[in-house]
Structure 1
């Protein structure tokens, strides 16, 4: 039955990945997959490699872009199954561990959505798996495997560093600490992780440590205490993990932490700390900043493993029969209700004609770019223009995705995002008219003061999803100017530092 459920949910994710148009960030990461840069301003390069793998099989299609996430989900489930099997030797909780992600919206459906977190999750779980193998075998060579997977996790997203406290207490709290502190293996594991992560370090050393400074703006942003951002964080965890699943997992993690630190049991210490520390950190950040929907998602699969293992530990610790039965009932309820919720959300986006959430719908808010691209094509033909200009990376990414190389597309500002990108075809741009495509009021942004182009109004187009207006776009003809691909770092056309801060302010607002 579990195998049938996983197969059915995998098909559901494939249909979802094929049917829905790309969201803006997904298209943005797709543009990375077309480049040969070692790393990128926003994130490390792993997600670009995932996309390149998928599009090599299925071409530049929505399924091709998203295929890596579908595969990552299956790999994550296999690793969770082996972790729980090795710790418990109980097939029933192994089944529970692999069904829990299926019953959580983020994993059961949205692992088909491309994001750096999707690339990081299987490597992060693999690191935990290697450390569980270490705890059971005592073989120090598993430290090296853990270092490899840690490096691959960091090569996917910087938030993988938030597992460091769990690894530290796993090393230092159990009775084995002096054995491993005297051993070369933990230190060699750090070296392995750094070597694997080195493409990001090399790229940043060559570009003024741009990625770390860019992400530092997010990590240190503070806009005052807000009950709204706290509510957003907690609400997102309930929605993406599960309204029943979240309390089931959190309560199991607290019990696992109590058991682990009381008895100095390495695996319990590792699994509980790996989730509770990031969860509390993001809660603290949510006091003053909106926590992104994907930011905490790397940690919950470890929580699913801990929750499944906890059910086998409770009888051994002489918990009451009533408490054990209640825990099993709630865990089963979390899976059944979660699976139903995931299927309902799938049907809403794939089959239903309604928009219940209006402008705040996370998919609808980024849909409808095909009509913008069609109007841009008409403007190109009418004006005799040969290239498209934008002033935000979302529009840039969607225009590149929808035109598929037929027309050069350039974001004329924020050029710090595009360091080491290939020349988009300046021979088709220089000396030719272009069409600017931008959201209102971006066409009146101060950045235009630094652009000496002649601008001619060329109409508007609305972006809608299921009848709801999301944005209005202005189209203008640009003449007498060619964009700079590599402006000076003090140019307003380069300013990623300022724009990174503006992004956080806009998200918080």
Structure 2
């Protein structure tokens, strides 16, 4: 399965978000508007080994998956001392599409997951040994998880329950070690705090808008959320994991068992939160993915705890049977998806295909390269971060690429090459019909239409792009915060509409 992920990572075109995060890896900023810097560091690790290649960008995800599996295996081994449970702990993520294949697609979640699991592992070691120094390791990994994605804070209720519900609550509340752990986490997370203090708390405000956004009740958004969980975790595996987590929670809170409380709460609290948000908001496909590894560990542990606790033979056998079905069917599905995207020539989903919908940008880049040569343009302008990221990936420093709007996304970025931009003609590349931005009326730019380019994947036109020559204008890389060119937009696909944040 790891070899399969390596092939997948090497063969498939980068998705737009992956290219966007790759651009971060080329910068020296402490943090970024959208996310903390962990994903940039993970990509820099891979490209330092394999260069600016598909595998180089995604190699960190391959390593993250292996680290996650090893930590899950050790958690389950220390709790159960049962080899069957350990094997299930390793195989369950392989049977989930997101982990078995798509961990090769890097995202901030990919960087966060191994650190989040390592934090849980440290607390399991604390429970096993009783040695308070494991709090310090938990604080370190918690800080690294937060340094990868802010949603790691949603594991805090599990840690609080781990401290307060078992009989040891007085010991840890009076101990200095949990507070030291919190201090360590804050110190590790400090680059994000420093960057935000320097930039008017921009990333916190950006995330806050998404967290508090409310819209009317929608069957569509809740249906999308539930459907995504079935698709990314597994049509059989998701019910198996949820039942295992529920039994683990019942066992943990009934007997005040710390590890059962920790693992089950780490799943149930974030899952219920996202389920609640999905009533009115489209939940991103990767947002809940940090919580399921704890569910895999809880499920594997539950398999061997049932007979030890005197459950009926019928229930024990049925639980093992469904777990085997989940693993076998899940891995078969993951392998099938792999061959569909790597080897098959068909497009069964059309323009809505999640991979094909972001493939084919090399066609746009090739025509842009030809127009640069024919028009004498020395730089490229875009008006959305996806096109910006893909063109910057394909040109890789050969030509300056500038997103002219949403400049708040690029605070702290280096000079892209103003000597090649100022007083030189540029090439504007934008998806239709978004190329007709009202913002152009605020500039002195003269736009000359050149051609239209179709982005095609397996015979299906995914998007059409307009190419135009720009003259008479130099983009402002650092406009004031009140400028329309500075404001960023929260994604329409997340909030259901474009939302500008000053």
TM-score by length of 1: 0.97
The 5 A counterparts of 1:314-325 are: 314-325=306-317
Does the Cα contact within 8 Å between 1:290 and 1:507 map onto a contact in 2? Answer: no
| 1:110 shift after superposition | 0.2
Residues 97 and 185 of structure 1: CA distance in aligned 2, closer, same or farther (over 3 Å): same
Q: How large is the Cα RMSD of the aligned pairs?
A: 1.1
Please give the alpha-carbon distance, in whole angstroms, between the structure 2 residues aligned to 1:451 and 1:374.
Answer: 28
Q: Partner of 1:6 in structure 2?
A: none
> Match for 1:490 among 477, 482, 501?
482
1:507 is displaced (CA, Å) by: 7.2
Distance verdict in 2 for CA 1:289–1:373, change over 3 Å: same
Instruction: Tell me how far apart the structure 2 counterparts of residues 333 and 424 of structure 1 sit (CA, whole Å).
Output: 53
CA distance in 1, matches of 2:156, 2:104: 27
Q: Does 1:38 align with 2:30?
A: yes
Instruction: Name the structure 2 match of 1:149.
Output: 141
Match of residue 170 from structure 2:
178
**Would the aligned equivalents of 2:27 and 2:413 in 1 still touch at CA under 8 Å?**
yes
1:206 aligns with 2:191: no
Mapped contact 1:57–1:64 kept (Cα < 8 A): yes
Q: Does 1:412 align with 2:404?
A: yes
CA gap 1:354/1:97 in 2 versus in 1, 3 angstroms: same
Q: Is the 8 A contact 2:284 2:494 kept in 1?
A: no
Kept after mapping to 2: 8 A contact 1:389/1:409: yes
Deviation at 1:222?
A: 1.5
Matching residue of 1:269: 261
Q: Does 1:160 align with 2:152?
A: yes
Match of 1:26 in 2: 18
* Cα offset, 1:450, TM superposition: 1.7
Tell me, what secondary structure is at the counterpart of 2:141? helix
SS at match of 2:490: helix
Q: Secondary structure of the equivalent of 1:22?
A: coil
Query: Following TM superposition, by how much is the alpha carbon of 1:495 offset from its aligned partner in structure 2, in angstroms?
Result: 0.5
Is 1:364 aligned with 2:356?
yes
Q: Using the alignment, how far apart are the partners of 2:197 and 2:216 within structure 1?
A: 33
Could you give the per-residue CA deviations for residues 194-253 of structure 1, whole angstroms, max 9, x where no partner exists?
000000000000000000000111111122110011010000000000011000000011
CA contact (8 A) 1:290 1:508 kept: no
Structure-1 residue corresponding to 2:327: 335
Per mean C-alpha deviation after superposition, the further-off stretch among 192-201 and 372-381 is: 372-381
- 1:16 Cα deviation from its structure 2 partner: 0.2
- Of 495, 499, 504 in structure 1, the residue corresponding to residue 494 of structure 2 is 504
Offset of 1:503 from its aligned partner? 5.6
The yes-or-no answer on 1:400 pairing with 2:366 is no
Secondary structure of the residue aligned to 2:435 is helix
Q: Secondary structure at the match of 2:189?
A: helix
Residue 455 of structure 1: aligned partner: 447
Indicate if the aligned counterparts of 2:282 and 2:495 stay in contact, CA closer than 8 A.
no
Q: 1:444 is paired with a residue of what secondary structure? A: coil
Aligned with 1:229: secondary structure?
helix
Matched, 1:89 2:60: no
Runs (4+) off by over 3 Å: 501-509
Match of 1:279 among 271, 288, 300: 271
Q: What corresponds to 1:5 in structure 2?
A: none
**Could you tell me which residue of structure 2 aligns to residue 307 of structure 1?**
299
Q: CA deviation at 1:505?
A: 3.7
Quick check: 142-151 or 439-448, which moved more?
439-448
Measure how far apart 1:504 and its partner are: 3.2
- Partners in 2 of 1:219 and 1:51 — Cα distance? 27
The whole-number CA distance in structure 1 between the counterparts of 2:87 and 2:450 is 59
CA distance in 2, matches of 1:175, 1:508: 49
Is the counterpart of residue 215 in structure 1 residue 207 in structure 2?
Answer: yes
Q: Which runs of 5+ in 2 are unaligned?
A: none
Partner SS for 1:443: coil
| Further displaced range: 436-445 or 196-205 | 436-445
2-structure distance, mates of 1:173, 1:321: 31
Which of 105, 120, 126 lines up with 2:118 in the alignment? 126
Q: Aligned partners of 2:492, 2:269: CA distance in 1, in Å?
A: 28
Q: For residues 445-484 of structure 1, what are the structure 2 equivalents within 5 Å?
A: 445-484=437-476
Which runs of 5 or more structure 1 residues have no equivalent in the other structure?
1-8
